Structure 1
């Protein structure tokens, strides 16, 4: 049975920390589920980590549905939350409900996530009223990266902190079951966590949230280059994979792979001399045809 919003609420009440990780395909989703991760987020971060875009903005709803389907097929217990990509919920509440519904109905997700505070409260309320659980997202908003002037820490000034807390309360009143806090000072995240009765999930928000979310490519260090400050590589998988692929290429080039263990054989007693003779006949026919 899958994790539900009631399970997550109980985890907050009991003080049990919640681990959430992004996934975009069947193999990694299956591994996350087998590892006991309670929430798998099909984040629009796939635009940057899986599709090679510079930001999350080009990601389409069709792409999100496609990847959500794969993740759902790879999980049995984890709650699958799908990000609503840029401009799928900002235009109108009606369109927001329709697009959230597609992520649930076609993608198979159990919940959706969208970014923003007071500007999306009506959309949140309408989506929740349609029976779809909504996870909020405040602080650093990747879909607003141009407006924010880059990926910068948010809510450092008093006025900004007050607005963030007000937005968190507005989202809670609209019906969110959880709230992602990204790129904000740890003391601010702690205050929001203490105020809200729903779980907060931090990313670059310090240790005081009810849970943490990380991008799978950062956790496993799949891509080259430095990681964000908030990330920690729990495995240097990128290095291991590159080494394995190099060894594979070398094994192919020197004839070591495939060997007998990776090859299929004819039935015992098969007349291989007949096969050799047949191959010679066809080889001669091919040479004759080419010469003609």
Structure 2
């Protein structure tokens, strides 16, 4: 990515006096997207790393960040937000929202996106995540762990046939009955679906509904946080978008849940080598699990 030079001097001169709208997008190819937005916005990228890019516009007052993750069928949106000019404005906005009955999560001096920020997070009624923050230091040389970016399934090969895909992510409503005919879906992508606090009967209902719509040998790909041991009653205080996580089951519990529901070839396909977060003595790791509906595959 050396062919694109960040406008560090320009970024350092930009004023923080105005409220700025913030939009974060998941992109499949960071270098290609940076080149596009440089042409589209008519200015150089303000911050560029191997795994992150940021544009800052004066008119309109916008902070656009790009995260290198393929979009899910649900779209490219990572999160939205506002950057406020100072801590007083941040405190006042959080106070106003909480007085209106909204639940917020505060973070002080968190390091993420190669910057140090103070912020709070809030979900809108449709499950979109909003970040409201002030910028304390925009010149860190490391990314920080204050933000767990929303990611999706890996890209399919360019010559792969078109698949029927359904996706769900944590924060979205899971319908009582999916508006899909029986046995018509090739693949289901679940992003944090089982990091929601659910009764066992609701877990079973969701899995039964997935089996109903999947074709024989149709695939489920689950991306979530799991723990190396039971959390018990430990409260979760996870930062950034991970604040939406309500429960973190053990990896073995999730595998057993899919087997008991009737899925076959249930496999742990990825377990992060290091923990994303800690809760007491528990290590919370990024986890990917794959499973199939029973039956023989038909032509897709």
Same fold, TM-score > 0.5, yes or no: no
TM-score (structure 1 length as normaliser): 0.29
Question: Where is the strand percentage greater, Structure 1 or Structure 2?
Answer: 2
